[in-house]
Amino acid sequence: MPHRKGLSWLFTHAITRAPSDSVANGIRAVDTGNPSGAAFRAEHEAYVQALKAAGLTVDVLPALEDYPDSCFVEDPAFCLPEGAILLRPGADSRKGEAGEIRAALANRFAKVIEIPRNGHVDGGDVLMLDDEILIGLSARTDREGAMAFATLLGDWGYNARVAETPDGVLHFKTACSTLGEGVILATKPMIDSGFFGDRKVVAVPEGEDYAANVIRVNDVVLVPEGYPNTLRAIENAGFKAVVLPTHEARKVDGGLSCLSLRFALA
């Protein structure tokens, strides 16, 4: 795949979904208390406004009470300039989410397809760079799904590589993000893994691993609130940052990237 400058951070549109009250029943690895639907919606509104301020047209889909984790729209789909791909999240409670978001994707893309075969892929395990797409294996993304997805991406002209996510990392992007310009933000275990080769990597400071999940949107990097050392590292690397609250999302293992599907349309 040729280098496509800005593929991973130059966007025109985003799709999000408002958090439901049922998010209190959302999946989490560690119980730190239930998120409040009302408080989460307030944080989500700040997130939507930040995307708009960065220059995006944002579609905000209505809350789905039947799917507690459905505000994390990045997991059931993946968007590229050529079209949208419906994924297959690995958690049983999320199996219907791809079908629920199909219509919104069809409103923006002429091509909406599903990954083949029977494996599972969560969008939180997919890191898009400007010259490569990394698919991390995890409790939510299995090898069958990852390989099927990689083959599909290859058919579309993209280089895709399947990687072994380090132990203890929920999703591949829980521990790394692209900052754009060929620079990656990552935790020490991800850096030590060697996945990123000779790419420039900004290390997440000790004790702030949650802040590895940021999103570059056009000229700004959206960073979770409460991680001053990571914020400083990003700014020292030459990037403009905007800080956003993610306190409710974190209670159900969510981060900034999970809350939107970001893409560029001509």
Catalytically annotated residue among 71, 79, 176, 258: 258
Rounded (to 5) percent helix, strand, coil in the chain: 30, 25, 45
C-alpha 106/C-alpha 128 separation (Å) is 22
DSSP letter, residue 229: H
The answer to whether residue 176 is catalytic is: no
Catalytically annotated residue among 44, 171, 176, 247: 171
Helices (H), 54-183: 97-106, 143-155
Residue with tokens 């002429």: 110
237, HSE (Cβ side, Cα atoms, 13 Å): 23
The answer to whether residue 120 is catalytic is: no
C-alpha 222/C-alpha 107 separation (Å) is 26
71 and 256 in contact (C-beta within 8 Å)?
A: no
Which residues have a catalytic role annotated?
Answer: 171, 258
